[in-house]
Amino acid sequence: MNFYNFISGVLISVIFSFASCASAQKASEISTSSDDKMIINSLDKKADHYADVAHQIWTHAELGYIEHKSSELLQTTLKKAGFMVEAGVANIPTAFSATYGSGRPVIGILAEFDALPGVSQDAVPYKKEREGCTAGHACGHHLFGTASAASGIAIKEWLEKSGGSGTIQVFGTPAEEGGSGKVYMSREGVFDNVDVMLNWHPGDGNSAGAGSCLAIKSAKFRFHGTASHAAGAPHRGRSALDGVEAMNDMANMLREHVPQETRIHYVITKGGEAPNVVPAEAEVYYYIRHPHMRDVKSIFNRLVKCAEGAALGTGTTMDYEVIGGSYNVLPNAALAEVMYKSLSKVGGVTYTADERKFAEEIIKSYPDVKVSPEDAENVAEFYVTERAAPYSTDVGDVSWLVPTAGMSAATWVPGTSAHSWQAVAAGGMSIGHKGMMIAAKTMALTGLDIFKNPAVVAKAQHELKERQGAEFEYEALLGDREPPLNYRNN
């Protein structure tokens, strides 16, 4: 999943405060310019409109690479605002690029909109599935995409009014949840002309800083055997499920001999149809994670050896399909400082009485977490850390190619984790919409600051080069495979 909602929990414990940063200042103590106020007022006036857009996407709850209605809605919103929209970029039907302006700097904004399977939930503070819907926006990507479009439109309006030069691009990026949409877009050069990239992610708190995450590579290993009667002629059979289980045994032994930061997860996605039939086909789905993409590559290759050995030992054959893969996020402190300054101007989320009541009910559903509804008002201190937070995102590949900054906004009730029914519930009502507008304002002010101070771009790009290293050449972890447009159907 993607992204910054872990920061308030995992990364705040390893915060490094910058003396040059006004991290201790309250939003009310940080001055806002007339241009800042123009952007904030414009977004406030359209808050109900953007809440409606987000709620439509929340209702659609479309899975990765099949987010046709959601993508079209965001494209239409941007077209009506004066953007030139190119649909179907990188050979992905739901990916798009929306552009306004000309010249440099070119500021990109990432927009996600895919939902997750199996987390259907109504917008109520207790567990209740939506009728006729099995998916849900448990990672808040309906808010993500809408806020990104809203911020791009606000920056466009400022460019138009001020007569300033520069380009703003909003990128519709499908299938973040396991589909690696941004990786294919990166591989096809979609972001090559962008000078800096902005993005955000829904969360249970408000924060902006420079941090990292885990690189990941995933694949489905398919074993092929020979079916036979399990009682009458077991000697004629060669069990594909035995191949899967032998691979899993070796993978579990491998855990002792990989770097301790490694994470290996798997599920058996196909194991046979009946106990009295030796399974001719079986499949296991693996994720490999590590704080650095180079280690992910080598550990994955060792996992393949486990699969080959399992096939040899069970008399089966094996093939595998790489499903996804993304780099760890490359921090960029120069750009993150600008975003933090913008978030400090905007501040956090204040609940109404009804929203507080909703939040209190949600908090009761996780009694071991000590939080308060008022925590949504706070803005965490600025941080820079190399430590990898325990999640993965395809923003990682983008961040190795373009200086990238991200933030989190309190779209969920404090204490809420991603991929939960509580996240879906809050994202479907005003708490989620309020947090979304915090993000829209923050990214718009960040873009404004960069347009006014283009030296930030040079500083951020210099930092990117230093962090990449002299020998860096981009190579997607998922190789040259085509986008798995049907991965949610397999």
- Same domain flag for 193 and 290: no
Residue 183 φ then ψ, to 5°: -65, -45
- Same domain flag for 173 and 245: no
- Same domain flag for 364 and 406: yes
What CATH number is associated with residue 265? 3.30.70.360
259 within 8 A of 292, measured Cβ to Cβ: no
Residue closest to 239 by CA, chosen among 229, 251, 250, 224:
224
- Same domain flag for 154 and 199: yes
Q: Is the dihedral of CA 251, 254, 258, 262 positive or negative?
A: positive
- Same domain flag for 199 and 337: yes
- Rounded CA separation 401/3 (Å): 18
The answer as to whether 450 is a domain residue is yes
Give Cα separations from 319 to 70, 220, 223, 228 (angstroms). 35, 9, 7, 22
412 within 8 A of 202, measured Cβ to Cβ: yes
The answer as to whether 479 is a domain residue is no
The answer as to whether 475 is a domain residue is no
- Same domain flag for 38 and 149: yes
Per-residue pLDDT of the chain (490 residues; tens, 9 = 90+): 544 444 444 443 333 333 333 333 444 456 778 999 999 999 999 999 999 999 999 999 999 999 999 999 999 999 999 999 999 999 999 999 999 999 999 999 999 999 999 999 999 999 999 999 999 999 999 999 999 999 999 999 999 999 888 999 999 999 999 899 999 999 999 999 999 999 999 999 999 999 999 999 999 999 999 999 999 999 999 999 999 999 999 999 999 999 999 999 999 999 999 999 999 999 999 999 999 999 999 999 999 999 999 999 999 999 999 988 999 999 999 999 999 999 999 999 999 999 999 999 999 999 888 999 999 999 999 999 989 999 999 999 999 999 999 999 999 999 999 999 999 999 999 999 999 999 999 999 999 999 999 999 999 999 999 999 999 999 999 999 999 999 887 5
409 within 8 A of 200, measured Cβ to Cβ: yes
Which ranges of 121-221 does DSSP label H, i.e. alpha helix?
Answer: 141-162, 181-187
- Domain hosting 273: range is 215-326
- Rounded CA separation 480/160 (Å): 40
- Same domain flag for 317 and 236: yes
Neighbours of 193 (CB within 10 A): 13
The answer as to whether 204 is a domain residue is yes
The answer as to whether 43 is a domain residue is yes
The answer as to whether 487 is a domain residue is no
- Same domain flag for 224 and 186: no
Instruction: Walk across the sheet containing 404-410 and list its strands.
Output: 84-87, 96-102, 166-172, 106-111, 196-203, 404-410, 207-213, 384-389
- Phi-psi domain of 118 (left: phi exceeds 0; alpha: psi -120 through 50; beta: other): left
- Rounded CA separation 261/291 (Å): 7
- Same domain flag for 205 and 233: no
Q: What's the predicted TM-score (pTM) here?
A: 0.91
Which are the contacts of 248, defined by CB distance < 8 A and separation ≥ 6?
266, 268, 284
- Rounded CA separation 144/140 (Å): 6
- Rounded CA separation 243/311 (Å): 5
Task: Examine the fold and report which residue of 274, 299, 326 is the final residue of a domain before the chain moves on.
Answer: 326
CA angle 54, 58, 59 (to 5 degrees): 120
333 within 8 A of 463, measured Cβ to Cβ: yes
- Rounded CA separation 58/70 (Å): 9
- Same domain flag for 33 and 113: yes
- Rounded CA separation 85/103 (Å): 17
- Same domain flag for 199 and 292: no
- Rounded CA separation 323/340 (Å): 35
177 within 8 A of 125, measured Cβ to Cβ: no
Task: Examine the fold and report which residue of 326, 347, 382 is the final residue of a domain before the chain moves on.
Answer: 326
The answer as to whether 344 is a domain residue is yes
- Same domain flag for 345 and 402: yes
360 within 8 A of 412, measured Cβ to Cβ: no
Task: Examine the fold and report which residue of 281, 309, 326 is the final residue of a domain before the chain moves on.
Answer: 326
State whether residue 422 is helix, strand or coil: helix
What CATH number is associated with residue 137? 3.40.630.10
Query: Looking at the 3D structure of the chain, how many domains does it have?
Result: 2
CA angle 401, 487, 146 (to 5 degrees): 55
The answer as to whether 486 is a domain residue is no
CA angle 398, 284, 390 (to 5 degrees): 40
